[in-house]
Chain A
Amino acid sequence: MIKEAPRENRAARYLVSGPPLLFLVVFFVAPTLIMILTSFRFPGEFGGLAPIAAPAEKISGEYGFTPEAYQFFFSDVLYAKIFLKSFGVALATTLICLIMAYPLALLIARSEKRFRNLMVLLVVLPFASNFLIRIYAWMIILGPESAFSHFVNAILGAFGLAPVTLLFSPFAVLVGMVYVHLPFMILPLYTNLEKHDASLLDAAQDLGATAWQRFWRVTWPLSLPGVFSGSALVFIPVLGMFAVPDILGGTGDILIGNLIKDQFLGTRDWPFGSALSIMLTLAVLSVAGLATWFARSATGQRA
């Protein structure tokens, strides 16, 4: 430990932590508080907000604070449905990502050391390309005139089924979501699996465990912390995503993110948009808390 006068230490501490703290208080904490405040106000006549204080010349009209935005949210079952649907899409995306990511993460972790970095880089590389481009790529692949669409419809036709439109459908949304978030699942899984002690599997094999038993009784339980952190990293951003349904989805594929976006750039109902954002924040916080709790109890059992 560094020995020194406590006063000098304190000065240095404020000097280093002060500027980022100040910046984030102004541009992260304050905006969040403003958002909470906004959710309790009245919408303005022409979008935006009604004034907090009553205009002097006018006694009637809406001003001040109100829980109206939240009442509105709970008054129509439509909004609860959209929240549920978003949770469903997030859950499905997380599960598909997990099923796809696990074998690859396992393979990378069990490869020779000198190949591992390259294999991880190959996972990260496409993820570094522009987010919109990655969604746009699926617009091409799933487009009605694309080779893939023709192929799928030819197979469906062979079974006597009607042709389908792949683009602008819930299927396209799901594919886009998985594609955009897959690396978030692979990386934490790999980081976890890489640390596993290979002698545990040898021991299990010596004791007569089959390949499946070795996986299900040894590798899988040990990898649970990685599974949970990967799941949180996929689930949370999917919950708030609006670009994927916006570009790949049809008119019916609206999720929370699209609903929020419309309140600010479409109908301009700021209080309702803020209230929706706060509901989303609460949902995210509970999911993150749940994932942390599961990960802790999964590691706790083995400690």
Chain B
Amino acid sequence: MRRGNIWLWSMAVLIYAFLYIPLAIVVLYSFNDSRLNAEWVGFTLSWYQALFNNTEMLTAARNSLIIAFSASLGATVLGTMAGLAIHRYKLKVLPILVFTPVAMPEILLGVSLLLFFLQVLNLTLGMVSIIIAHTTFCIGFVAIIVRARLQGMDESLFEAARDLGASRWQTFRLVTLPLIMPAVVAGALMSFTLSIDDFVITFFTKGVGEPILPIQIYTMIKVAVTPEVNAISTLLMLLTLVMIIIAARLESRASSGRVKMPREIVKQ
């Protein structure tokens, strides 16, 4: 091995350690039998027990799941349409509107939506305003993923379907949609994770009513840090990990399997 490589490898190990050690500490201390996150005392599951007896936290988790589910559903439908439209047609305005919310600091979207909800819609802030806000910033992520998949595909597949007499809708349902499905699912999972995790935009559009998970976590961190935060963090990491594994599975299955013509179109 060359000397340069050793240098690169040691840097890489250090950076991976920098990325993982903090999270490992959070997980470790969630099992620590001490109120202080300072030194290891002994193993306990009491922080998880406390968490499951904390009704406000459970309500917050339920609310966040409802929000994430609704927002990712909306963002997936609209984002897939946007991805298709941007790929297929020469559009000027739509790409700007779709990709800008992804690129700009979240606080700007949070502030403008807060003002809009309160002034124009006269909406009481709560679940609905959060769902709308999350949908708005997730559309771009879905569109990016769907568009990337379309860019890697052979246009002749769609032309063949059209030449064989499939209508526009048939082409979409029987050829395009099955082909982009892995990207659509990946986009949905990504939106779900982004929504569950989002703090900044939720913070501005939350109102005062229902407890929401990231806000609960924030309050716990700011007001009274107990290892209960570590426990909820560990569970959330587990959830994200499961989502990523599902997404990776879907992607590898999609890329390894050859493109098969759906049976219905062959019959026609």
Residues in A lying within 8 Å of B, measured CB to CB: 2, 4, 8, 12-13, 16-17, 19-21, 23-25, 27-32, 34-35, 38, 48-49, 100-101, 103-104, 106-108, 110, 121-123, 125-126, 128-141, 143, 145-147, 179, 182, 211, 236-237, 239-243, 246-247, 257, 260-261, 264-265, 270, 273-274, 277, 280-281, 284, 288
Contacts and interface: CB of A to CB of B under 8 A. Distances in A.
Contact of A130 (B82, B108, B236): B236
A16 B36 CA distance: 55
A123 B108 contact: no
B233 to A, nearest CB: 4
A134 B217 CA distance: 12
Looking at A12, A20, A141, which has the most chain B CB atoms within 10 Å of its CB?
Answer: A20
A164 to B, nearest CB: 17
Given A17-B81, A104-B11, A247-B222, A140 B25 contact: yes
A4 B39 CA distance: 71
B11 A133 contact: no
Contacts of B145: none
16 contacts: A20-B79, A20-B94, A103-B12, A128-B244, A132-B218, A132-B221, A134-B23, A137-B25, A138-B22, A140-B26, A145-B36, A147-B39, A179-B19, A277-B108, A277-B112, A284-B108
Contacts of B89: 13, 16-17
Interface of B: 4, 7-9, 11-12, 15-16, 18-23, 25-26, 29, 36-39, 77-79, 81-82, 84-86, 88-89, 91, 93-94, 97-98, 100-101, 103-109, 111-116, 118-120, 132-133, 135-136, 139, 143, 158-159, 162, 168, 193, 196-200, 203-204, 214, 217-218, 221-222, 225, 229, 233, 236-237, 240-241, 244, 248
A179 to B, nearest CB: 7
In the complex, the 10 A-B pairs of residues with the closest C-beta atoms, listed nearest first = A240-B105, A137-B22, A17-B85, A31-B116, A31-B112, A145-B38, A20-B82, A103-B11, A24-B97, A133-B233
Contacts, number: 231
Q: Which DSSP category, helix, strand, loop or mixed, fits chain B's interface?
A: helix
Given A16-B85, A103-B11, A106-B8, A280 B108 contact: yes
A157 to B, nearest CB: 19
Given A126-B20, A246-B222, A247-B222, 8 more contacts: A13-B85, A34-B112, A103-B8, A132-B214, A133-B217, A133-B233, A137-B22, A141-B21
A208 B36 CA distance: 59
A261 B107 contact: yes
A246 to B, nearest CB: 8
B78 A27 contact: no
Contacts of A241: 105, 107
Contacts of A123: 19
B107 A20 contact: no
A139 B105 contact: no
Contact of A273 (B111, B120, B143, B244): B111
Contacts of A138: 22
A236 B104 contact: yes
Given A28-B101, A130-B217, A242 B78 contact: no
Contact of B108 (A27, A135, A145, A281): A281
Contact of A137 (B26, B107, B236): B26
A32 B108 CA distance: 9
Contacts of A281: 104, 108
A243 B203 CA distance: 10
Contact of B8 (A21, A38, A107, A139): A107
Nearest to A13: B89
A200 to B, nearest CB: 16
Contacts of B132: 27
Contacts of B29: 140
A241 B105 CA distance: 7
Contacts of B7: 103
A35 B98 CA distance: 19
Contacts of A240: 104-108
A134 B21 CA distance: 11
A35 B107 contact: no
